[in-house]
Amino acid sequence: MASDRSALPLVRTGPRTGDVVVRFQHDSTATCILSVHPGPQQLRCVSRGDALDLARRFAAREHVDCWTTTDGRTFGLDLEHRPP
């Protein structure tokens, strides 16, 4: 039986253009940085909860996805608002 590749789910491993990214820093400042991918940092938050709340609301309003990262190379999809 031939496999139907169209039935396989699309796995995204990182943000697409326009997605919002929250980067958690684990240095002495413990800040969270929000940015739109690709692009420079746009907002710093001291609280992880505040950063995620802002990012999720922005993602919902703009119909983009929200991602998190600690190293800028590996990403976790936090909230999905656009089709694959």
Is residue 15 within 8 Å of 80, Cβ to Cβ? no
Is residue 79 within 8 Å of 65, Cβ to Cβ? yes
pLDDT digits (tens, 9 = 90+) for 8-62: 556 778 999 999 999 988 765 657 788 888 888 888 888 888 889 999 999 999 9
pLDDT of residue 34: 81
Tell me which of 47 and 69 has the higher pLDDT.
69
- CA 16, distance to chain mean position in Å, is 9
- Position 64 confidence tier, pLDDT thresholds 50, 70, 90: very high
Q: Which amino acid is at 65?
A: D
Whether 7 maps to a domain, the answer reads: no
pLDDT of residue 6: 59
- Our count of domains for the chain comes to 1
Whether 10 maps to a domain, the answer reads: no
Residue 54: domain span: 15-79
Whether 69 maps to a domain, the answer reads: yes
Whether 50 maps to a domain, the answer reads: yes
